[in-house]
Structure 1
Amino acid sequence: MKKEFVVIGLGRFGGSIVRELVKQGANVMAIDTDSERIDEFAQIATQAVVADTTEESVIKSLGIWNFEHVIVAIGENIQASILTTLILKELGVPQITVKAQNDYHEKVLRKIGADYVVHPERDMGIRIANNMMSNSVLDYLELSGEHSIVEIKASEKIAGHSLIELDIRAKYGVNIVGITRGDEIMVSPAATDRIEVGDILLVIGADVDIDRFVQKVI
């Protein structure tokens, strides 16, 4: 059975989500107040509808509350984003992901019950900056305001040592939760596993601890 999603707001962020979800084989209802955008996605999404989701009657008429996951990707209209999220929450939608414009917007969204809040522009900026600052950092994902998960290429400094020998958690406060070696992926590696040059380490922890780990070890 195909997974089903609703994406509300078809700007650059929402539009890219629709395209990727459809590419992954999901059924997607795409919604926007702009008829031109709906025309653009009519041949992409499973269903494309012109609608104002700040009206509870509209959400009910479209059956949006029956979907398991709704993504609110409304652009600059913060009020519409908040009202839509509030209605979805009150109607019992199991999972609601919302695009936030700023930190204040995020605070309000979390207070009214949004399950996931994303800052696409900010997060991408942070990711690019971190990648540029270190040749060893391959990818970066912010988990919260102070914690992240990063992919780091292992250097000769730690190659040949086991995780228990390096004692990374005690010394730096971060955890290696996965190691990629060629086509092999080790999830929750054992303490006796030895690191090789070129291994990709999946490291999780507080940003300050990750930075210290990269500077001192990698």
Structure 2
Amino acid sequence: MKSVLIIGLGRLGHHLCINMSQLGNEVMIVDKDEECMQDLLPYATMAKVGDCTNEDVLKSLGIGNFDICFVCIGSNFQSSLEITSLIKEMGANYVVSKANRDIHAKFLLRNGADEVIYPDRDIAERLAVRHSANHVFDYIELTEGYSIFEIPPMKEWIGKSIRQLAIRSKYHVSILGIKTNGHLQLLPQADRLLTAEDHLMVVGLKKDIDRILANIH
């Protein structure tokens, strides 16, 4: 369990509060608009109305007591930058700030953010990959070049085991899991036979996965 502070209750802040709470974390939420937090009160351990560009408001929160501080202000970059800088100066352990543009990310990282996220950009990239390529059920980029794809098996793989196919040595990708009828089996055994209903969670370089996709019909 972690102690989490969420500043700014737009869409990202709302989803973070609910999900962090459901995962068993203690969550404090702060926003200058009281109406934004009403539906989150059942999930938050603590809630405070206040303008976090005001140092006195931030000091009252006990910034150093939180494991993670999320700055989820996307509409006012100046406020996001000020808050990020202030909470780091006040002893924040780890600061995650939202950015909409690369130039914003650079300033945030220079002024105290330990991590910067681009939720809108990341969702757009994921949707673009899913709906541009045939036979891709889902996609997650890990690092530059490496990704996880959820794909169907090639026809010649059906009825054969992972060991028989030697997918890792032949195709330079690894099977992390197999999803069948919504149930995910992580790290499947080498003797697991593949079926037409399987969705394979494969990790590797995008160029290697693209070669597999080109042979799925």
TM-score normalized by the length of structure 2: 0.79
User: In the alignment, is the contact (CA less than 8 A) between 2:155 and 2:216 conserved in 1?
Assistant: no
From the superposition, tell whether residues 183 and 131 of structure 1 become closer, same or farther in structure 2 (CA, over 3 Å): closer
In the TM superposition, residue 14 of structure 1 has moved relative to its aligned partner by 1.2
Task: Identify the residue that residue 52 of structure 1 maps to in structure 2.
Answer: 51
CA displacement at 1:112 relative to structure 2: 4.8
1:183 offset after TM fit, Å?
A: 7.2
Aligned residue in 2 for 1:162:
161
- Check 1:58–1:124 CA distance in 2 against 1; reply closer, same or farther (3 A cut): same
| Aligned-partner residue type, residue 104 of structure 2 | H
Equivalent AA in structure 1 for residue 108 of structure 2: L
How has the CA–CA distance of structure 1 residues 111 and 200 changed in structure 2, closer, same or farther, with 3 Å as cutoff?
farther
Instruction: Letter of the 2:64 partner, please give it.
Output: W
- Which runs of 5 or more residues in structure 2 are unaligned? none
Alpha-carbon offset, residue 126 of structure 1: 2.1
Deviates more, 1:64-73 or 1:203-212: 203-212
Note the C-alpha offset of 1:74.
Answer: 0.7
Computed over aligned residues only, the root mean square deviation of the Cα atoms, in angstroms, reads: 3.1
Give CA deviations for 1:115-151 in whole Å, capped at 9, x if unaligned: 4432221222222223323453222223345432222
- Is the contact made by 2:63 and 2:91 (CA closer than 8 Å) also made in structure 1? no
Q: Which residue of 2 aligns with 1:20?
A: 19
1:208 equivalenced with 2:192 (yes/no): no
Kindly tell me: are residues 172 and 88 of structure 1, through their superposed partners in 2, closer, same or farther at Cα, counting changes over 3 Å? farther
Question: What's 2:117 paired with?
Answer: 118
2: CA distance, partners of 1:83 / 1:208: 41
1:156–1:176 CA distance, 2 compared to 1 (3 A): same
Structure-2 change in CA distance of 1:193 and 1:12 (3 Å): same
Alpha-carbon distance in 2 for matches of 1:56, 1:78 = 17
Between 185-194 and 65-74, report the one with greater CA deviation. Answer: 185-194
Take 2:62 and 2:2, find their aligned partners in 1: how far apart are those partners? 16
CA–CA separation in structure 1 for the residues paired with 2:206 and 2:112: 26
SS at match of 2:214: helix
Q: For 2:187 and 2:22, how far apart are their aligned partners in 1?
A: 30
In 2, Cα distance between equivalents of 1:217 and 1:166 = 15
Q: Which runs of 5+ in 1 are unaligned?
A: none
Deviation per residue, 1:185-207 (Å, 9 max, x gap): 44333445432222222122333
Cα displacement (A) at 1:9: 0.9
Separation of aligned partners in 1, 2:151 and 2:66: 37
Decide whether aligned partners of structure 1 residues 125 and 165 sit closer, same or farther in structure 2, where only a CA change above 3 A counts.
Answer: same
| Partner residue in 1 for 2:86 | 87
- After TM superposition, the structure 1 = structure 2 runs for residues 39-78 of structure 1, keeping only pairs within 5 Å, are 39=38, 41-42=40-41, 45-78=44-77
